[in-house]
Structure 1
């Protein structure tokens, strides 16, 4: 052992060992030290706390089953075929006053996996950063579009009488808070009016950040439970305000009316009829018997199965000759409830709509997309690892997907 190596080992030992010679243990960040005791190991809490960080999210977003308790959404039967006629991405897109190649977009927009389908056929399928066709990727808020589809299924099943029913008809626990008098339709459109700002300033945590910490990081509360006592900010139906608690309430309703778990209803009404090729899973906000599926942002699936979900919507609720949801539901889900003025356009039933275009998309935190363009019969699934403060990356991604939609591969 050289002197330099012994010196390095000694220095490292000094960093790891306290004054008594005992190795220091990992400590919780101050924001995670609350009054409620968590049974989640400290190292796991810290990793959940950091899972969105730019130096680990490429890995974390495709290994969520290593960080959380999960509930399986099983596939069954032969997969719906996805014919493949792969073509080189020989198109360009414009952004920031410059022209970029499609290949450049992969690195510029932090891509883990990309799939482009034209008229039901895969023309591009790319896996990066150690991922492959078996990798299950976190959808984040693309899960909201899954939950919306389950609401459509529950309506068709007669488990919900009308979208204009008050949510308290199915969840009377909400009568004492801001959800009293709010309809299912208003919640689907993110117009509930409840006071829940979707802001994750963990240095000064508000209701959303505190709920994230308590439910997802520490598992000491159920994510949807804050809906019991939440206050009202605006009149229901008047103001669009994006909030994950709205979708969590819809998931709770699905659990109640279906008489089972959200995962079981997802498997029965969506995952099996879609003809998926792999099991999906939800991350949970607690241990089995206590936790619920994180129905606002916690669903994970393979690249191809996300594409099957998009293809079913493109084909008006049908895939491989099997109807999954009604054509009327698909039409209503993609119709913007208000002006298409935001960066992503407008908002329907938990789907984003593209301004000045028939295209619409499921969109998840830090770069997850199932982009659907009926005009060109294109599906683009992009699974990414944007930095937490993504700046213009999301706008560049939308420019790339619009160009991919317009692309006509050489036959």
Structure 2
């Protein structure tokens, strides 16, 4: 198990019967299913995903059909995709050593249950593979990679003047939290998961706050998630203690929604998905029918569009030569941050800072989701790597540290 500044969250959710009930009510969970190559596959339940209780074939078909498990909003793509030409020089086999043992590319793909991988160097595809029946049209679950996308939307809202800045108060955008433990918490505190609000992230504990938030999502009752968050007590002064909390990302989503006055999916489409040139529509889970997007998970998009998002961020959030993010945001969001007491935190604004020597040297960072989802960005070498994973259990037990493999890829491309 490789180092982590804070533990990655895992979740549980309602069985597929919940989705079938919504369908019986006439709610559409998978718009355009007739055009999607995997739409008619048998899938498991949301509960099985987080229990790690699916055999490999069922896991794969479920992970590429998560928009059948909850209502979603569509993240609409534009008509002019950002070109991703294939490089004349393709990546050959990659060999590396991890924990004293020798591995290569084929070992990594097999051992870490990789179902698709894309490597972009200097804006060109140098490696692309689809496994287990996936293809270019496959939409795969983001898991917590969505957190990095939500934080980027917060940055865009700051640039647009809709959020007044990192020191803005949460309650200015989510009035329901006035008088709660989030009263006095800033946007920066939430981005650093340092609100000081008491939170137990243990997903296996039925009495944990994480499980309570999941029950709120499963209920699909409007505003149930923010109502839960409003009832939490304070455990520390804002900005002084980091405590990894999926609830913080839900609060961030509420902040963005309150500031931009439109669904997060629509704002993402308006600011990035269409103008940057994503090729395909994506989907995003909701907390209730036509409600607020789940800030910390639930996006399903194609491999190349996740790659394009990595390119967008690596290039400073620029579209047509102009950045839609505040000056210096990319560096500030992806390097270690500092708590109010001066303690260094190896975590950015909902981006993972590098944890291997080579990637730290290159200023690399990643959006990471359980069960093998990665958007790795190495700005020093102009490399973006995306992986889809179908690891059997959400317990952070990759046989091979993905960043060690990513370092080997970067070295092979030099």
2:168 corresponds to which of 158, 165, 170: 165
User: Per the alignment, in what secondary structure is the counterpart of residue 215 of structure 2?
Assistant: helix
1:304 corresponding residue in structure 2: 304
1:353 corresponding residue in structure 2: 353
Quick one: distance in 1 between partners of 2:175 and 2:95?
Answer: 53
Is the contact made by 1:80 and 1:320 (CA closer than 8 Å) also made in structure 2?
Answer: no
The 5-angstrom pairing of residues 195-234 of structure 1 reads 195-201=198-204, 204-216=206-218, 218-220=219-221, 222-234=224-236
Is the contact made by 1:150 and 1:270 (CA closer than 8 Å) also made in structure 2?
Answer: no
Shift of 1:187: 0.5
Stretches of structure 1 that go unaligned for 5 or more consecutive residues are 1-30, 340-344
Is the contact made by 1:40 and 1:219 (CA closer than 8 Å) also made in structure 2?
Answer: no
User: Per the alignment, in what secondary structure is the counterpart of residue 276 of structure 2?
Assistant: coil
Shift of 1:331: 1.9
1:178 corresponding residue in structure 2: 181
Quick one: distance in 1 between partners of 2:161 and 2:93?
Answer: 48
1:110 corresponding residue in structure 2: 113
The farther-off stretch of 316-325 and 159-168 is: 316-325
Stretches of structure 2 that go unaligned for 5 or more consecutive residues are 1-12, 25-42, 340-344
2:336 corresponding residue in structure 1: 336
Asked if 1:384 corresponds to 2:389, the answer is: yes
1:372 corresponding residue in structure 2: 377
Normalization by structure 1: what TM-score? 0.83
Asked if 1:408 corresponds to 2:410, the answer is: no
Quick one: distance in 2 between partners of 1:228 and 1:392?
Answer: 34
Shift of 1:123: 0.4
| Residues 389 and 282 of structure 1: CA distance in aligned 2, closer, same or farther (over 3 Å) | closer
Quick one: distance in 2 between partners of 1:185 and 1:50?
Answer: 34
The count of corresponding residues between Structure 1 and Structure 2 is 366
Quick one: distance in 2 between partners of 1:371 and 1:394?
Answer: 18
Give CA deviations for 1:120-177 in whole Å, capped at 9, x if unaligned: 1110111111111111111111111111111111111111112101111221211222
Shift of 1:323: 3.5
State the Cα RMSD in Å.
Answer: 2.5
Is the contact made by 1:92 and 1:102 (CA closer than 8 Å) also made in structure 2?
Answer: yes
1:155 corresponds to which of 155, 158, 171: 158
2:100 corresponding residue in structure 1: 97
| Residues 32 and 112 of structure 1: CA distance in aligned 2, closer, same or farther (over 3 Å) | closer
Quick one: distance in 2 between partners of 1:269 and 1:328?
Answer: 18
2:66 corresponding residue in structure 1: 64
Shift of 1:83: 1.5
Is the contact made by 1:191 and 1:240 (CA closer than 8 Å) also made in structure 2?
Answer: yes
Shift of 1:273: 2.0
1:342 corresponding residue in structure 2: none
2:21 corresponding residue in structure 1: 41
Is the contact made by 2:19 and 2:70 (CA closer than 8 Å) also made in structure 1?
Answer: no
Q: Segments of 4+ in structure 1 off by > 6 A?
A: 42-46
Give CA deviations for 1:91-125 in whole Å, capped at 9, x if unaligned: 11222321111121111001111001111111011
Is the contact made by 2:202 and 2:210 (CA closer than 8 Å) also made in structure 1?
Answer: yes
Give CA deviations for 1:280-313 in whole Å, capped at 9, x if unaligned: 110112223xx32112212111100000110111
2:367 corresponds to which of 352, 362, 365: 362
